[in-house]
Chains A and B, each alone.
Chain A
């Protein structure tokens, strides 16, 4: 259903479905894998137009339009560490350059303002409480419903489109363990996989870019107590050549502005004035147009709502539209119906 896009997009999803019981080690089923699904479109656009050169000055492909989608589907206080995982990754991608406008962060429950949280409005991912993940500049888009399985849970195994790189924190049948318990907060604060991933990224900054293969090599199965593995059959490029910032960060392609364009004379205002005599309307229109349309849109919406009809039907309709508490109306109607049915049955006995 998607048509091929003109811009290169990288969508990064972290799914964490935790239905685990509290405790140090969580026996989890397959659904407790930590998915990192990296999707990137191929550079087909330039080929379609038939241009001879695809890259101009930079030698490697850079993505200026990376998006990040971070979803946490675990609810309840004992899944504190899942929230901390997601918020840690949010902080990482922001640090590596993806702006808030291109991050979608969805959390299932509110840990920061939970009544059990001893440190209100603060979420930590380490027991030294060094870093408050819920500090300033956190924008949350929405809450995910833990009731239904997000289709992404199955998508690791069923992704078919090209250009996808997928990582899982444990193999099928293995468990994904938490790292340590914070006795002050009372629950585990981070998972092992996330802990070692974040340790890798804390060493990075935007300037030095490690390759993806070094990220994967940093996972030590004995420390993780599970086997982190990745699936590369859908991703063409070799992993040692791809910098992690291609996926987790946002790097702009820049070209130096070599010279100014000296075509305008300083007294160009005279020319402009002469022009303005002939086209008296257009410059003024151009400048005030933006405010004008906004006003028009707002007033248009208001007038639509206040449209009073002449006939009683439309006034009734308007009144019905204004009723806010539809549920009580429905309840009253049901009660009336049921009482009528019982009365008539009794009468026709």
Chain B
């Protein structure tokens, strides 16, 4: 408003400024009060209301800026980076080992001379030999380097133990009188239960860390018979020399109780079929290759009751197992089989096996879990069509396979079951639905059990160790013996802890490398719980509680994987600085430009008006 009258005057004034100025000068020398030039002077003091108004708007912008920045701040839940790094360093430098306790018991019926020094000597020999067999480097999931070996010698009424026997769960001297049993000792199951009742009856065995692996040497005048039981003990029946006894004992300790029945106790990741969420889905399928020939069905309920329920329970510390089954039709295999005249059957060799599974036509992945993070293991019974029936598997050494089946690590197993009607020429009859008989079902489930064991890295059957003198290895109703489950728990504990630490380490590196990535609360919580579970697993493992440490290590791994694969991390929606810039500048830039320009203009005007007033005051003062 004030500007408008000034502009025309300024324009006319511009033309006449050189004339006015000298006039002004003259007038200021002559008469300052008479010449009042509104361009240069004003009578009243300039008000500050306009300035305050503009400055308040500018000031409110500045005031709001921290609120704006706070509102667009990226929410990052705090992650315990130091704890993650220390866990990773700790696990990578010392592999997780769980302590094992061993016990050697020498029972002699006659009054053989036993002494303390003999017990001590035996302990030293056994320890030396075990250390020599296992090597100096601790393998992940093995018993480590600290073994406790206790030696108990019983002869008649005498009972001698070595000094470092440890406490709890030791052989109760004098409880069993072996001479009374006589020939019954040849029945392995009876002896197994007998020894188990003796070893378990001790109250000290119930507490934590009380698991001891025992080998009982029963001295009798017979040929040596070595049997490994279903629980945590083995026994040798017969007359054995001391040196040979030591080597037998240590062989059993190392091969069976430490390594779980395999020569090498190291972990191979392809034999750890547990999914990232700690679950395994066993998916059983019955495949009718050509339903025009014959159709088969099965009573899966009975397999579930007989075989699977105890197995699921036995493997509970290692994985949560769920079971499903289906029957499929029109599922030919994709490899070729040759007709063999001598055997009157079609022969598949092991070279054909990698191409046996026809992924295009076998729609095995129909379970809900197929898309998730659980591991799905497929167990297939393949019933060949009439064109390729009977189908047998020939091994590379020329022998025919006893099981007619194979496994693929991390995938599952296949059994070829030949229909009995394939030998008869029944082409004219229309196909009827047969059901697998209970004997067939039992045979098939036994082979499946062997395959499950192989997939978990154990021996498929109670395989005889030729040349090492083992007479028998007992099989368990639950599919796994207790010492096998211990070995599996140890391996899985170590594997899960290493996997958890690696995942958390990757997550922390990722989060630290992307400072503008949103980290939700849930991820922070999962990381915290995962670290807690890992700590719990480590403390449990140091105490020697195998199943509890397996459970907590599995939880730690599951939580770490959940945190790493959280959907908010997977989606690429990071709030980059360019994004922030692109959203806010189209509004704020023009507005702030106007406000700042207005403030500057107002400030300049105020200064100008003040200068005019001061000029007038000076002129008025002079005159």
The answer on A and B forming one complex is: yes
Q: Which of A's residues lie within 8 Å of B, judged by CB? A: 1, 3-4, 6-7, 45-46, 48-54, 56, 62, 64, 94, 97-101, 137, 206-207, 250-266, 268-269, 271-272, 275, 283, 286-287, 289-290, 293-294
Q: Does B324 contact A (CB under 8 A)?
A: yes
Query: B476 touching A263 by the CB < 8 A rule?
Result: yes
Residues 81-120 of B at the A interface (beta carbon under 8 Å): 95
CB contacts (< 8 Å) of A206 on chain B: these are 334, 355
Encode B575-586 as 1/0 by CB contact (under 8 A) with A.
Answer: 000000000000
When A206-B355, A263-B477, A269-B302 are in contact, do A255 and B462 touch as well, CB less than 8 Å? no
Given contacts A100-B360, A260-B446, A269-B305, contact A207 B413 (CB under 8 A): no
A290 — which chain B residues lie within 8 A by C-beta? Answer: 322, 324, 367-368
The chain A residue with its CB closest to the CB of B506 is: A3
Contact B443 A52 (CB under 8 A): no
B365 in contact with A101 (CB, 8 Å) = yes
Contacts of A207 in B (CB 8 A): 351, 355
Beta-carbon contact of B305 and A264 below 8 Å:
no
Are the C-beta atoms of B306 and A272 separated by less than 8 Å? yes
Interface CB pairs A-B, < 8 A, 6? A3-B510, A56-B409, A97-B355, A252-B411, A256-B401, A268-B477
| Chain A residues whose CB sits within 8 angstroms of the CB of B564 once the complex forms | 3
- Which residues of chain B from 426 to 468 have a CB within 8 Å of any chain A CB? 438, 442-443, 445-447, 449-451, 453-454, 460-463
With A50-B95, A51-B268, A290-B324 as known contacts, state yes or no: A260 contacts B305, CB within 8 Å. no
State the CA gap A62–B507 with chains docked (Å).
Answer: 29
Closest to B370 in A: A101
Contact B506 A261 (CB under 8 A): no
Kindly provide the distance from the CB of B326 to the nearest chain A CB, expressed in whole angstroms.
Answer: 12
Tell me how far the C-beta of A96 lies from the nearest C-beta in chain B, rounded to whole angstroms.
Answer: 10
Contact, CB under 8 Å: B406 / A283: no
In Å, the complex CA distance between A154 and B110 comes to 86
Complex Cα distance, B351 from A54, in Å, reads 21
Considering only residues 4-33 of chain B, those with a C-beta below 8 Å from chain A are: none
- Name B residues whose Cβ lies closer than 8 Å to a Cβ of A: 95, 139-140, 264, 266-270, 302, 304-307, 309-310, 312, 322-324, 334, 350-351, 353-357, 359-360, 365, 367-368, 393, 395, 401-403, 405-411, 413, 415, 438, 442-443, 445-447, 449-451, 453-454, 460-463, 475-479, 494-495, 498-499, 502-503, 506-507, 510, 564
Cβ–Cβ < 8 Å partners of A254 in chain B: 350, 353-354, 356, 406-408
Closest chain-B Cβ to A263's Cβ sits at a distance in Å of: 4
B266 touches A50 (CB 8 A): yes
A245 to B357, CA, bound (A): 16
Q: Smallest CB-CB separation from B503: which chain A residue?
A: A3
- Chain B min CB distance to A26 (Å): 35
| B446 engages A261 (CB within 8 Å) | yes
Contact A53 B477 (CB under 8 A): no
B502 & A137 in contact (Cβ 8 Å cutoff): no
Cβ–Cβ contact B450 & A294, under 8 A: no
A99 and B360 within 8 A (CB): yes
Q: Across the interface, name the chain A residue whose C-beta is closest to B413.
A: A257
Hey, which chain A residues are within 8 Å of B447, CB to CB? Answer: 257, 260
A98 and B445 CA atoms in complex are apart in Å by 30
B309 touching A49, Cβ below 8 Å: no
Assembly CA distance A97 to B357 (angstroms)? 9
Cβ B463 vs Cβ A259 within 8 A:
yes
| Contact across chains for A269 and B322 when beta carbons are under 8 A apart | no
Add 13 more A-B contacts to A254-B408, A257-B407 (CB < 8 A): A46-B268, A51-B139, A51-B267, A52-B139, A52-B266, A56-B270, A252-B355, A256-B406, A264-B446, A265-B477, A272-B310, A286-B322, A290-B368
Whether A62 pairs with B479 at a CB distance below 8 angstroms is no
CA distance A253 to B268 in the complex (A): 14
> How far in angstroms is the closest Cβ of chain A from B39?
34
Contact present for A264 and B322 (CB under 8 Å):
no
A262 to B498, CA, bound (A): 35
Contact at A266–B442, with CB atoms within 8 Å? yes
Task: Indicate which residue in A46, A98, A275, A289 contacts B309 across the interface (CB closer than 8 Å).
Answer: A275
Residues of B within 8 A of A252 (CB): 353-355, 357, 408, 411
Is A264 touching B264 in the complex (CB atoms < 8 A)? no
Residues of chain B within 8 A (CB-CB) of A272 are 305-306, 309-310
What is the bound-complex CA distance between A271 and B478, given in angstroms?
11
Chain A residues with CB under 8 Å of B443's CB are: 260
- Kindly list chain A residues whose C-beta atoms are within 8 Å of the C-beta of B453: 261
Q: Please, how many angstroms separate the alpha-carbon atoms of A140 and B445 in the complex?
A: 39
Chain A residues contacting B140 (CB-CB under 8 Å) are 49-51
Report whether B461 and A262 are in contact in the complex, using a CB–CB cutoff of 8 Å: yes
The answer for the CA separation of A258 and B395 in the assembled complex, in Å, is 10
User: Bound complex: CA of A261 vs CA of B365, how far in Å?
Assistant: 27
Q: Is B498 a contact partner of A257 (Cβ separation < 8 A)? A: no
Contact present for B475 and A262 (CB under 8 Å): yes
Q: How far is the CB of B386 from chain A (nearest CB, A)?
A: 25
Q: State the CA gap A190–B410 with chains docked (Å).
A: 39
- A31 → chain B, closest Cβ, in Å? 25
Known: A51-B268, A64-B411, A261-B450. A256 touches B359 (CB 8 A): no
**A204 CB, min distance to chain B CBs, angstroms:** 13
Chain A residues whose C-beta falls within 8 Å of the C-beta of B502 in the assembled complex: 3-4, 48
Residue in contact with A257 in the complex, picked from B302, B403, B499, CB distance below 8 Å: B403
| Residue among A1, A98, A253 making CB contact with B510, cutoff 8 Å | A1
CA distance A4 to B269 in the complex (A): 14
- Distance of A7 Cα from B405 Cα, bound (Å): 25
Q: How far is the CB of A233 from chain B (nearest CB, A)?
A: 26
| B360-A137 in contact (CB<8A) | yes
**A6: B residues at CB distance < 8 A:** 269, 499
Chain B residues near A266: list those with CB within 8 A: 438, 442
Which residue of chain B has the shortest Cβ distance to A65 in the bound complex? B410
